[in-house]
Amino acid sequence: MRNLKIFARTDIILILIVTVFLSGWLTFSYFRPTSNKAVILVHGKMYKTVSLDKDSTFKIFWKGVYLMTVQIKSGAIRVVKSTCPLKICVHTGWISKDGQVIVCVPNRVIIHTEGAKSTSYDLMTSQ
């Protein structure tokens, strides 16, 4: 039985190295752009999957009828214009986190993000 040490100098070095490595990893993963996408459903069917990493603006048509204009900018997506009366979808504003959703009931359009940083909740209860 060799002499037992609780803390040796090497131990401190190990802890330091691991801590520095972990901090670096955390910082790196914090600043790394996540590869996000948004899924657009129209009338319950998959309409389009778009990457949120490329800024763009495009229009959604259903059976030749214009429904809305959607914009993607710096990892977030929003509805700019819509033919619906309430404009709830426009007022929802930007969404960027996993689990967030833009819904346009009159036009039957659902836009939700995927693979992004998640929201702090699974579900939202609202009126």
Q: Is 103 in the site for another protein (CB under 8 A)?
A: yes
Among 49, 51, 83, 86, binds another protein (CB under 8 A): 86
Nearest to 101 by CA among 86, 81, 80, 79: 79
CB under 8 Å to 127, separation ≥6 — which residues? Answer: none
Residues counted in the chain? 127
Q: Which is nearer to another protein, 72 or 116 (CB)?
A: 116
Q: Is 71 in the site for another protein (CB under 8 A)?
A: no
Q: Is 65 in the site for another protein (CB under 8 A)?
A: no
Contact (CB, 8 A) for 68 and 89: yes
Q: Is 90 in the site for another protein (CB under 8 A)?
A: no
Q: Is 63 in the site for another protein (CB under 8 A)?
A: no
Residues in binding contact with another protein, number by CB under 8 A: 46
The nearest distance, CB 111 to another protein, in angstroms, is 10
Distances (CA, A) of 80 to 30, 98, 117, 127: 29, 20, 23, 24
In 10 A of CB 113, how many CB atoms? 24
Whole-angstrom Cα distance, residue 70 to residue 77? 7
Contact (CB, 8 A) for 49 and 72: no
The nearest distance, CB 16 to another protein, in angstroms, is 10
Q: Is 31 in the site for another protein (CB under 8 A)?
A: no
Q: Is 93 in the site for another protein (CB under 8 A)?
A: yes
The nearest distance, CB 27 to another protein, in angstroms, is 10
